[in-house]
């Protein structure tokens, strides 16, 4: 929750006029707790998962032959009921695993210093933090993913993700609940090491989710 009652009070404390973005942020989050703002993350992920894959799902369902040359496995097609089942399974995982994880991990967000106040981060700050997060996530994700492909990791956990033997965009987060926690750590490690603003955190998680969908699109 912002420690200012009015825009004027915020401008006096900052010693300058608020930008348009900062004014909008003040009006939206001024009376909202940090816990509620952090909870937006699961809503953002569910929205992205429901909207971003639609063009590729349309191509898959309509079986548009003109796109076959772009597919990794052009002869493999999933029926609409299979795609719908995958969507329902992932949304159930979001609600039963990722959602509760948001609730219990909130203290860690406060402890590492994810901020919600003013001023908002500059574009340069967001870009530079993203550069660090990408390097950290890429390195950490590689080794955790490699662990999941060892005999024990694959048999106990990772085999669920490979139930879909052909790439499909909606199967990107289709996995064992333990894998969600393990690989989610790789995405969270960057902001934990280099704390950012909540908006940057949202954007980073959204970017990481969109990247995973694209990589699994086939």
pLDDT score at 42: 92
pLDDT score at 13: 87
Span 154-165, pLDDT tens digits = 999 999 998 887
pLDDT score at 77: 73
**Rounded to whole angstroms, how far apart are CA atoms 98 and 95?**
6
Three-state SS at 148: helix
pLDDT score at 81: 85
Give mean pLDDT in consecutive 10-residue pieces for the chain, a chain of 218 residues: 82 89 91 91 93 87 73 75 90 90 87 92 96 97 96 95 84 91 93 96 95 87
Q: Are residues 19 and 99 in the same domain?
A: no
Question: What dihedral do alpha carbons 36, 199, 192, 183 form, nearest 10°?
Answer: 80
Q: Residue length, the chain?
A: 218
List the structure tokens of 161.
Answer: 């993700």
**Rounded to whole angstroms, how far apart are CA atoms 161 and 152?**
15
User: What is the residue range of 7's domain?
Assistant: 1-31
Q: Are residues 20 and 125 in the same domain?
A: no
* Reported pTM: 0.92
Number of domains in the chain: 2
List the structure tokens of 152.
Answer: 């024990």
**Rounded to whole angstroms, how far apart are CA atoms 23 and 7?**
7
Q: Are residues 17 and 112 in the same domain?
A: no
Q: Are residues 25 and 40 in the same domain?
A: no
- Going 113 to 209 to 135 to 152, the CA torsion angle's sign is positive
pLDDT score at 1: 66
pLDDT score at 71: 77
pLDDT score at 31: 86
């Amino acid at each position: 929750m912002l420690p200012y009652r009015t825009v004027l009070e915020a401008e006096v404390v900052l010693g300058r006029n608020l930008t348009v973005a900062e004014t909008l942020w003040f009006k939206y989050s001024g009376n909202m707790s940090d816990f509620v703002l952090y909870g937006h993350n699961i809503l953002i992920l569910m929205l992205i998962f429901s909207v971003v894959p639609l063009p590729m799902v349309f191509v898959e369902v309509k079986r548009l032959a003109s796109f076959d040359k772009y597919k990794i496995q052009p002869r493999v097609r999933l029926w609409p009921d299979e795609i719908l089942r995958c969507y329902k399974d992932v949304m159930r995982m979001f609600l039963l695993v990722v959602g509760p994880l948001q609730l219990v991990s909130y203290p860690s967000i406060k402890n590492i210093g994810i901020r919600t106040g003013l001023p908002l981060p500059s574009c340069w700050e967001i870009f530079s933090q993203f550069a660090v997060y990408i390097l950290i996530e890429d390195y950490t994700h590689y080794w955790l993913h490699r662990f999941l492909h060892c005999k024990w990791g694959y048999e106990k956990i990772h085999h669920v993700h490979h139930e879909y033997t052909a790439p499909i965009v909606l199967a990107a987060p289709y996995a064992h609940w333990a894998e969600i926690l393990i690989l989610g750590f790789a995405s969270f490690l960057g902001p934990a090491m280099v704390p950012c603003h909540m908006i940057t955190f949202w954007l980073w998680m959204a970017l990481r989710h969109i990247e995973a969908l694209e990589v699994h699109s086939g």
